[in-house]
Amino acid sequence: MSLHDRPITVALLGTPAVSAATIYGFFDALHSTRRDWEMLHGRADTASPFRPLVVSADGRPFEAGNGVRVTPDASFADCPHPDVAVVTDLMIAPGTPLDGLYDAEVAWMRGAYDAGATLASACSGALLLARTGLLDGHDATSHWAYCDLLAREYPRTRWHAERGLVVAGTGQRIIMAGSGVAWHMLVLSLIARFASPEDAMQVARINLLDLNGTSALAYASLTRGPRAADELVARCQLWAASNYRAESPVAQMVALSGLPERTFKRRFTQATGMTPLEYVHTLRLEEAKQMLESTELPVEAVAGEVGYQDTSFFGRLFRRKVALTPAQYRKRFGALGAQLRQAARAG
């Protein structure tokens, strides 16, 4: 029996760390394929070609990461062989140790893949997909807040925070979506692959899914992540948060640390994953983003306000880190910021 002769089983992995909005968003989009389009056009009831199932290790009800009670449709043992297995997301802080927590889930995903299923992950769900070992030597993506961590833990995988969708693996049987609502792109890609592009477009049109081409890097917080565990480095981070505009901020951090310059730079990089100068740049650029969103200052003035006298250098650095020019960033996010401020005043 071919895929077109039976429902396409899509197993959605349920864990206490999943967000109900994403897992049931997947469920609804798959269940609505063809059905809603035909209904809106006054045609006969039409079943979806997909059979989405929420599955978990034991099949018992659990409370999702955002407090919603989830009742799985099946346990791993009872789940029919899936055509697609999806880990939608994990509400877990970057850096949380996962050893031993999801062994059963990782083994189930690997077993599904070995039996011929396509594996998919959205957002932070890449944390589990990476543990299968199937991403070695391939491109991959995840939420921008997790990619740096994943790149350090899985150096044989090429991580791309800027990409909304990545297809990889033997037979192109691994599909990964990046940050936030990029899961919309993932579910539409699955519909296009296993049903048809026309079906995917219909779902997008009904649900007003605007899959613009803006890189995830434009949304990313450049200063993400906790303070360093190294107290000396954390003290320097705290100083830099208020003094990044200062002239020669790295030299001043060296003086504050009381360490030789080479020792300080090595220790700072080890604790934060970036050099002191790179760290200062992230602080300056994050502040520049806020100013571009909330003020009408010219780009030259914004550059000066955050510590750059060379506007051209500022523009090149901004584009490299944010994937948009300052003017493009303001056009993309300035209007949204203005609308939100207006809504707040109206309230």
More confident residue, 213 or 73: 73
| Structure confidence at residue 297 (pLDDT) | 93
Neighbours of 278 (CB within 10 A): 15
Q: Could you give the domains of the chain?
A: 3-218 (3.40.50.880), 231-346 (1.10.10.60)
Indicate the pTM of the whole model.
0.70
The span from the CA of 113 to the CA of 85, in Å, is 8
The tokens for 337 are 């910021």
pLDDT(339) > 80: no
| Structure confidence at residue 347 (pLDDT) | 43
CB 315 within 8 A of CB 325: yes
Alpha-carbon distance values, 96 to 1, 166, 226, 309, 333 (Å): 43, 24, 12, 40, 31
Q: Which of 8, 22, 336 is nearest to 177 (CA)?
A: 22
Q: What is the pLDDT of residues 136-189, one digit of tens each?
A: 999 999 988 888 889 999 999 999 988 888 888 888 899 998 876 678 888 888
Q: How confident is the model at residue 243 (pLDDT cuts 50, 70, 90)?
A: very high
The tokens for 43 are 């045609």
Q: What is the pLDDT of residues 103-142, one digit of tens each?
A: 999 999 999 999 999 999 998 899 999 999 999 999 999 9
Q: How confident is the model at residue 2 (pLDDT cuts 50, 70, 90)?
A: very low
CB within 8 A of 137, min separation 6: which ones?
156, 157
| Structure confidence at residue 200 (pLDDT) | 85
| Structure confidence at residue 3 (pLDDT) | 54
The widest CA-to-CA distance across the chain, in whole angstroms, is 77
| Structure confidence at residue 181 (pLDDT) | 62
| Structure confidence at residue 1 (pLDDT) | 39
- For residue 149, the one-letter residue type is L
Sheet hosting strand 118-122, strand order edge to edge: 74-75, 50-56, 8-13, 84-87, 118-122, 174-177, 165-168
CB 49 within 8 A of CB 194: yes
Q: Which of 213, 223, 222 is nearest to 328 (CA)?
A: 213
The span from the CA of 42 to the CA of 124, in Å, is 39
The span from the CA of 63 to the CA of 209, in Å, is 28
Name the average pLDDT for the chain: 87
| Structure confidence at residue 223 (pLDDT) | 64
Q: What is the pLDDT of residues 30-74, one digit of tens each?
A: 999 999 888 887 778 899 999 999 999 999 999 998 889 999 999
The span from the CA of 170 to the CA of 138, in Å, is 10
